[in-house]
């Protein structure tokens, strides 16, 4: 597995855990440990996302991140071209 794929897989794993904790907190809003875990993972996700976009370019093309020149939305081959 390439470094690119490992970094992307880390983002997906963090995002999955955040969504799961979000759903759990919807039904257990007073669970302090779950809330601490959620906040910790959100911080980790934000740092990982920042590092990823600085290294590989934006994850989405809808204005959530800056782009270097030239426009970087499609710098890598499409998944089906790899």
For residue 74, give the DSSP letter: T
For residues 64 and 81, the model is more confident at 81
pLDDT in tens, 25-79: 999 999 999 999 999 999 999 999 999 988 988 787 666 666 566 656 666 776 6
Domains of the chain: which residue ranges? 3-81
pTM for this entry? 0.75
16 pLDDT above the threshold of 90: yes
Task: Identify the CA nearest to 64 among candidates 78, 79, 76, 52.
Answer: 52
């Amino acid at each position: 597995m390439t470094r690119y794929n490992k970094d992307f897989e880390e983002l997906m794993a963090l995002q999955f855990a955040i969504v799961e904790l979000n759903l759990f907190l919807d039904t257990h809003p007073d669970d302090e440990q779950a809330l601490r875990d959620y906040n910790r993972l959100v911080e980790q996700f934000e740092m990982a996302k920042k590092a990823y976009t600085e290294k590989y370019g934006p994850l989405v093309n809808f204005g959530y991140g800056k782009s270097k020149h030239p426009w970087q939305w499609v710098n890598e081959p499409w998944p089906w071209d790899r």
